């Protein structure tokens, strides 16, 4: 295996699970206001301190899009590997589009090694580099250019929040498919070992569970990440301690920046938790491994990209596909 290929494998093993937990963490932190008035005030203060609007000149706009239909880009940052430059590379990108009338959400994970055009720099490279070149602003512009839809808001969070939230909940239960040893959040090799079977794990152990792929693939890793998301939500709904929720709010606040105001965040919480029948669809961008000038990239399949762009555009515009039904890769309903 060449050095470049080994680097690509190591890159794929990075912590790209973060977007899967950003939405539930946001819901957990903000939904906690029902337990005590002071938590509402605390959440408002913490979220206001995380508010960081981005000035953008290239923001796309769709005409005739209902105001309640919107999009959010969740950006995951690995703060354990901060480089000397101001902006590290992004480790995970998850786009969520919302359609209020259908009470639906579409989620698209964008592989970090995707070979894309970086505006402003006018180069083609891995999408993860956009954040290193221009932070959140250039990442938003790059994703807009790739998908040809407006990105209305962003939420950027590092994976310390993931570990802190799980620790604040007193750990979660997960079913480990096989015994394995993995590095910890500071990349110390062999620091975490988990045995096969149902396990109660803390934040560091959950991180290892989410990132390992010794005996399976990225597909199964994605399934483990969804299991973690469900475990977080299940544990959060069973916790009654105000102190636990206070810790969760703090964990989210100190590890997150966003251009969503507190009131806007609350409106999303209401959207996610009101009533039943919230439908979500998980989309994927098909592609293939490629070597360009000796560097590994994930070359996106143009037909898959075009189909995904149309699905997202129609979702924001409140339209259906030509068949009159939502086009799905992998969909489910939360009833």
- The reported pLDDT for the residue numbered 200 is 95
Instruction: Please determine, for residue 160, whether its predicted confidence score (pLDDT) is greater than 50.
Output: yes
- The reported pLDDT for the residue numbered 68 is 73
Which residues lie across from 180 on neighbouring strands? Answer: 194
Query: Which token pair is 195?
Result: 């045995």
Over residues 282-305, the pLDDT tens digits come to 888 888 889 999 999 999 999 999
CATH 3.40.630.190 placement within the chain:
170-238
Least confident window among 50-64, 118-132, 188-202, 299-313: 50-64
Residue 294's Cβ-count burial label (10 Å; 0-12, 13-18, 19+) is exposed
Mean pLDDT within 117-141? 94
> Which range in 21-30, 53-62, 92-101, 157-166 is most confidently predicted, on average pLDDT?
92-101
List the end-to-end C-alpha distance of the chain, in Å, as a whole number: 47
| Count of H-run helices and E-run strands, the chain | 10, 15
Mean pLDDT within 19-30? 57
Residue 170's CB is within 10 A of a number of other CB atoms, namely: 12
Identify which of 288, 332, 331 has the alpha carbon closest to the alpha carbon of residue 311: 331
Instruction: Please determine, for residue 89, whether its predicted confidence score (pLDDT) is greater than 60.
Output: yes
**3-168+240-334: CATH, from 3.40.250.10, 3.40.30.10, 3.30.420.590, 3.40.710.10:** 3.30.420.590
> β-pairing, 123-126 with 197-201?
unpaired
Spatial separation of the C-alpha atoms in residues 198 and 220, rounded to whole Å? 17
Name the pLDDT band for 123 (thresholds 50, 70, 90): very high
Instruction: Please determine, for residue 311, whether its predicted confidence score (pLDDT) is greater than 70.
Output: yes
* SS3 (DSSP) at 182: strand
Residue 133's CB is within 10 A of a number of other CB atoms, namely: 18
**170-238: CATH, from 3.40.630.190, 3.30.450.20, 3.40.50.11540, 3.30.930.10:** 3.40.630.190
Identify whether the C-beta of residue 153 lies closer than 8 Å to the C-beta of residue 51.
no
CATH 3.30.420.590 placement within the chain:
3-168+240-334
* SS3 (DSSP) at 118: strand
Identify whether the C-beta of residue 296 lies closer than 8 Å to the C-beta of residue 115.
no
CA 17 to chain centre: 7
- The reported pLDDT for the residue numbered 101 is 83
Identify whether the C-beta of residue 52 lies closer than 8 Å to the C-beta of residue 258.
yes
Instruction: Please determine, for residue 94, whether its predicted confidence score (pLDDT) is greater than 80.
Output: yes
Name the pLDDT band for 201 (thresholds 50, 70, 90): very high
- The reported pLDDT for the residue numbered 264 is 84
Identify whether the C-beta of residue 152 lies closer than 8 Å to the C-beta of residue 70.
yes
Spatial separation of the C-alpha atoms in residues 308 and 286, rounded to whole Å? 10
Least confident window among 22-36, 80-94, 144-158: 22-36
Q: What is the mean pLDDT of the chain?
A: 77
Query: Which token pair is 39?
Result: 């938590």
Spatial separation of the C-alpha atoms in residues 224 and 216, rounded to whole Å? 11
DSSP letter, residue 89: P
Over residues 204-262, the pLDDT tens digits come to 999 888 877 677 755 566 567 667 777 876 777 666 555 677 777 777 777 889 998 88
- The reported pLDDT for the residue numbered 145 is 94
């Amino acid at each position: 295996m060449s050095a470049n290929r080994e680097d690509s494998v190591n890159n794929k093993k990075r912590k790209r699970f973060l977007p899967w937990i950003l939405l539930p963490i946001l819901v957990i932190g903000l939904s906690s206001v029902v337990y005590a008035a002071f938590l509402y005030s605390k959440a408002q203060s913490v979220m206001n301190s995380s508010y960081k609007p981005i000035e953008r000149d290239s923001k796309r706009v769709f005409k005739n899009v209902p105001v309640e239909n919107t999009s959010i880009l969740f950006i995951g940052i690995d703060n354990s590997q901060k480089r000397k430059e101001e902006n590290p590379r992004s480790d995970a990108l998850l786009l969520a589009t919302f359609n209020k009338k259908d009470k639906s959400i579409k989620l698209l994970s964008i592989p970090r090694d995707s070979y894309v055009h970086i505006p402003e720099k006018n180069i083609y490279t891995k999408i993860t580099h956009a954040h290193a070149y221009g932070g959140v602003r250039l990442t938003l512009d790059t994703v807009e250019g790739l998908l040809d839809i407006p990105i209305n808001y962003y939420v950027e969070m590092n994976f310390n929040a993931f570990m802190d939230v799980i620790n604040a909940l007193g750990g979660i239960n997960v079913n480990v498919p096989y015994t394995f040893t993995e590095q910890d959040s500071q990349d110390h090799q062999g620091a975490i070992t988990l045995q096969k079977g149902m396990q109660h794990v803390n934040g560091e152990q959950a991180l290892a569970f989410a990132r390992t792929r010794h005996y399976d693939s990225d597909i199964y890793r994605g399934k483990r990440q969804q299991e973690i998301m469900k475990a977080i939500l299940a544990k959060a709904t069973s916790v009654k301690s105000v102190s636990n929720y206070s810790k969760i709010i703090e964990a989210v606040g100190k590890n997150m920046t966003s251009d969503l105001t507190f009131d806007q965040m609350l409106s999303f919480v209401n959207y996610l938790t009101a009533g039943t029948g919230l439908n979500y669809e998980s989309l994927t961008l098909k592609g293939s491994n490629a070597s360009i000038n000796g560097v590994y990239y994930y070359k996106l399949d143009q037909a898959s990209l075009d189909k995904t762009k149309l699905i997202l555009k129609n979702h924001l515009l409140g339209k259906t596909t030509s068949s009159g039904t939502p086009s799905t890769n992998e969909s489910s309903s939360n009833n």
